[in-house]
Amino acid sequence: MTDRLLRWVLRIGAITSALIMLLILFFLLLESWPALQQITLTRFFTDPSWHPLEAAYNLLPMLSGTLYASIGALLLAIPLGIASALFIVYYAPPHLALLYQRLIELLAGIPSVVFGFWGLITLVPLINQLHPPGASLLAGILILTLMILPTITLTAHAALLAVPDEFQRGAVALGLSRWGVIRGVMLPAARTGIVAGIILAAGRAIGETMAVLMVTGNVVQHATSLYDPIRTLAANIALEMAYAMGDHRGVLFVSGLLLMLLVMLLSGMAATLSNKHHA
């Protein structure tokens, strides 16, 4: 009797949890629907500029800003993250490996607003000395790198650990050097897991808001150099939601929907990859 009751309670809980996802999609669609009906999709790419108060809704500069920042951060974080994972698994003595792993985990726990704050008071002035104004694509890339580094390191670490021991023993028995074993056997064997982690990190980078908003200067433009200020899609939502009305608000929800679909696509890819890996 209590067993049956419990089963129902559990089922209701699980269904509610699963429905939240749909609820979010539904409300994003609901809020963007009027705007999507008013504004044809092509206008998001062909309007002369982003001046929402004058009904000009070109999202391209924000998209390019998001992509530049994310790709730049990935380019830096991938080598650093994989090197960190290799250090933990193969190079460090056990206690140092554990210590470094904890440090990475703590890095993952630092909130984005603190990264943003640190960027604002330390990195931006430094870059400003190099090339004004300081608040720039470069600052955004550097901060994002720090934020996605733990994701890449920890997933690569897990993927490397999941490689069967026999592979390594077999490769060592062939007389390969340490780097030969890693490059020739371990990294290829762990590739799918590492790539899945990189895709997850890309999702985080695209969706990151506060830290990027605080250090990139938030000028709506296509960056021509690393020192140009940019604005990302996520930062745009945070900046303009407070006063957006009507279509403007709708367009912000459209960009939120866009972000969400991008991230869903990426996490779907990562999930398929790691499923294939396990199968």
Binding residues for another protein restricted to 167-186, rule: CB under 8 A = 177-180, 182-183
Decide: is 162 part of the binding site for another protein (CB under 8 A): no
Query: To the nearest 5 percent, what fractions of the chain are helix, strand and coil?
Result: 80, 0, 20
**Residue 195 CA neighbour count, 13 Å, CB half:** 16
Q: Which is nearer to another protein, 21 or 56 (CB)?
A: 21
Decide: is 165 part of the binding site for another protein (CB under 8 A): no
Decide: is 33 part of the binding site for another protein (CB under 8 A): no
> Interaction with another protein in 36-75: which residues (CB under 8 A)?
none
List 73, 137, 149, 190, residue binding another protein (CB under 8 A):
149
> Interaction with another protein in 247-276: which residues (CB under 8 A)?
252-253, 256, 259-260, 263-264, 266-268, 271
Q: Which residues contact 37 (CB under 8 A, 6 or more apart)?
A: none
Q: Which is nearer to another protein, 46 or 75 (CB)?
A: 75
124 contacts 137 by C-beta, under 8 angstroms: no
Nearest to 152 by CA among 222, 73, 93: 73
List 70, 151, 168, 209, residue binding another protein (CB under 8 A):
209
Q: Which is nearer to another protein, 94 or 109 (CB)?
A: 109
Decide: is 31 part of the binding site for another protein (CB under 8 A): yes
First to last CA, the chain: 39
DSSP per residue, 147-163: HHHHHHHHHHHHHHHHS
Query: How many residues at the interface with another protein, by CB under 8 A?
Result: 84
Decide: is 22 part of the binding site for another protein (CB under 8 A): yes
Q: Which residues contact 50 (CB under 8 A, 6 or more apart)?
A: 56, 57, 58, 59, 61, 62, 220, 236
**Least distance (Å) from another protein to the CB of residue 168?**
15
Amino acid at position 11, single letter? R
**Least distance (Å) from another protein to the CB of residue 140?**
15
**Least distance (Å) from another protein to the CB of residue 277?**
15
Site string for another protein, 75-94 (x = CB under 8 A): ----xx--xx-xx---xx--
* 3-class DSSP state of 247: helix
Q: Tokens at residue 131, please? A: 């090339």
Q: Which is nearer to another protein, 132 or 180 (CB)?
A: 180
Q: Which is nearer to another protein, 17 or 224 (CB)?
A: 17
DSSP per residue, 104-123: HHHHHHS-HHHHHHHIIIII
> How many Å apart are CA 222 and CA 45, to the nearest integer?
13
> How many Å apart are CA 182 and CA 33, to the nearest integer?
51
Q: Which is nearer to another protein, 111 or 132 (CB)?
A: 111
> Interaction with another protein in 221-250: which residues (CB under 8 A)?
234, 237-238, 241-242
> How many Å apart are CA 219 and CA 228, to the nearest integer?
9
Decide: is 126 part of the binding site for another protein (CB under 8 A): no
Q: Which is nearer to another protein, 46 or 122 (CB)?
A: 122
Q: Which is nearer to another protein, 46 or 246 (CB)?
A: 246
